[in-house]
Amino acid sequence: MQATHICDGGIGTTAHPEASKKWVSERVIQKLKETPLYRAVDIQKDILRIHGVCLPCKHAWMGKEVARLVIYGSEVSSYDLLLWYADKVFATNSSSVVAIENDGERFKRGFFFSFGACLLGFKHVCRPLCFIDGTYLLAKYGRILLSATAKDGNKGLFHVAFTIVDNETDVNCTWFFAILGEALYSQDTYDEIITFISDRSKGLVNAVTRVFPSSPHGYYLRHLEANFMKTNSSIGKALRMQCWVVIMKIAYAYTLKEFDDAVVNLHVYQSMYSLG
């Protein structure tokens, strides 16, 4: 490959100082719109292939950030718009529940949101079973998105509420569940005991116990399997898989007899191998 090319990209060599972050952003902005997970390393490869310019990784990342700012705007401003959004929700759907921790006109820490229709739908058409999960928001300021989801009569996902917090701590999880409980139980005669399902994270476990002391709390099988395999690594993979088959039978038992028989089998394994 020659160090000089003749295309009209405006850059003369593979290390030209005029390959600024603005120049990079102008050439990646369309693809970034189409592919939000466009990586800096892929930008490097594309810029070299198309324009013959070799970019440092940091340069490619800075160009990407400029393009993101053009497409999505400032992340600080986006968070501050949550206050505006809360006002609009109250104005157009007054039965919704919105709670936000702010500092004047600026978003501070926590945001809880549930449409009134979602709360009504959960109470009247869904079983009292609520799945709690969280995911990291991969942006400059991070934060955690927690959601409460149910299943409707067609076994489809039915969103009940979500919240944005700075971390999955006891304080934040308790704040989330306290507002969720008030939203579900305070305005009418709904008296079902809700069963919660989560990934068994410490913050969620403590919060459910604190806010919903009468509610059963189950755990996702995928997380139970990972914890079981890790805790009992000393007994060998084949034996762990045999034990896990028994646990799966317990989880999917449709009758009391199936459940009791599987529990007896698990106790046999427990007494023989001291399972954790």
Report d(CA 117, CA 95) in Å as an integer. 8
Q: What is the pLDDT of residues 112-137, one digit of tens each?
A: 999 999 999 999 989 999 999 988 88
**Separation of alpha carbons 147 and 255, rounded Å:** 31
User: Residue 49: exposed, middle, or buried by beta-carbon count in 10 A (0-12, 13-18, 19+)?
Assistant: exposed
Q: Under 8 Å CB-to-CB from 43, ≥6 apart: which residues?
A: 24, 28, 55, 60, 61, 63, 64
Kindly list the domain boundaries of the chain, sorted by start residue. Answer: 21-72, 75-219, 222-273
- Predicted confidence at residue 108, as pLDDT, reads 67
pLDDT reading at 80 higher than 90: no
Nearest to 182 by CA among 215, 211, 144: 211
pLDDT score of 267: 86
Query: For position 12, what pLDDT does the model report?
Result: 42
Percent of the chain that is helix, strand, coil (3-state, to 5): 50, 20, 30
pLDDT interval class at 13 (50, 70, 90)? very low
Q: What is the mean pLDDT of the chain?
A: 85
Q: Do residues 132 and 198 make contact, with C-beta atoms less than 8 angstroms apart?
A: yes
DSSP states along 66-100: HHHHHHH--HHHHHHHHHHHHHHHHHH-TT-EEEE
Local structure of residue 4 (DSSP, 8 states) = B
Burial class (CB in 10 A: 0-12, 13-18, 19+), 237: exposed
Residue 138, amino acid: L
Give 8's pLDDT tier (boundaries 50, 70, 90). very low
